[in-house]
Amino acid sequence: MAILPILLYPDPRLHRVAAPVARVDDSIRTLVRDMAQTMYSAPGVGLAATQVDVHKQVIVIDISPTHDALKVFVNPEIVASRGASDVEEGCLSVPGVYDKVARAQWIRVRALDAEGNAFELDADGLLAVCIQHEMDHLRGKVFVEYLSPLKRRRILTRIRKQERRAG
């Protein structure tokens, strides 16, 4: 297992669109294990392959406080959704920024698991928001891009200051 470097906003590689996985093989399972370790060590509740510069449709999520309920989504699709949620979101690619984004409150997602088996999952609340957030990454979208231009400018200014301080 390995901890992978996480791309930081506004890295342009975060805007690449991930390709569907043709076959869930050992290379995908290794990626899933590395992504899970990277997410747990960050620590975070979700990670998309895009964030570790792998442009394949793979997501890992674990919202449990005990870090023992890993969910893996390969080629995820939302097949139904309803309601409106405004859970505050954060992102490992935009450290220190938390804000609300308009999301569905309930979703039904269809995906493959790490064995390549198809499954459907109904999710609401934080899990539903997390899945929608990570699926956005696969489309090259970072949650701060939903925020107002003013908020986004402030975030970018802060990031540039941090980068200058880091040299």
User: Site residues (CB under 5 A) for Ni ion?
Assistant: 91
Nearer to Ni ion, 14 or 104 (CB): 14
Nearer to Ni ion, 82 or 139 (CB): 139
**β 88-89/46-48 pair status:** unpaired
Nearest distance in Å: CB 55, Ni ion: 15
- From the number of C-beta atoms within 10 Å of its C-beta (0-12, 13-18, 19+), residue 8 rates as middle
Distance CA 112, CA 119 (A): 6
Concerning whether 88 is annotated as a catalytic residue, the answer is: no
| CB-CB contact of 47 with 92 (8 Å) | yes
Residue 146 is classified by DSSP as G
Number of other residues whose CB lies within 10 A of the CB of residue 83 = 11
Could you say which of 120, 134, 145, 163 is catalytic? 134
Nearest distance in Å: CB 92, Ni ion: 6
Measured from each CB, the residue nearest to Ni ion is: 91
Nearest distance in Å: CB 167, Ni ion: 26
Nearer to Ni ion, 60 or 91 (CB): 91
Q: Which residues are catalytic?
A: 134
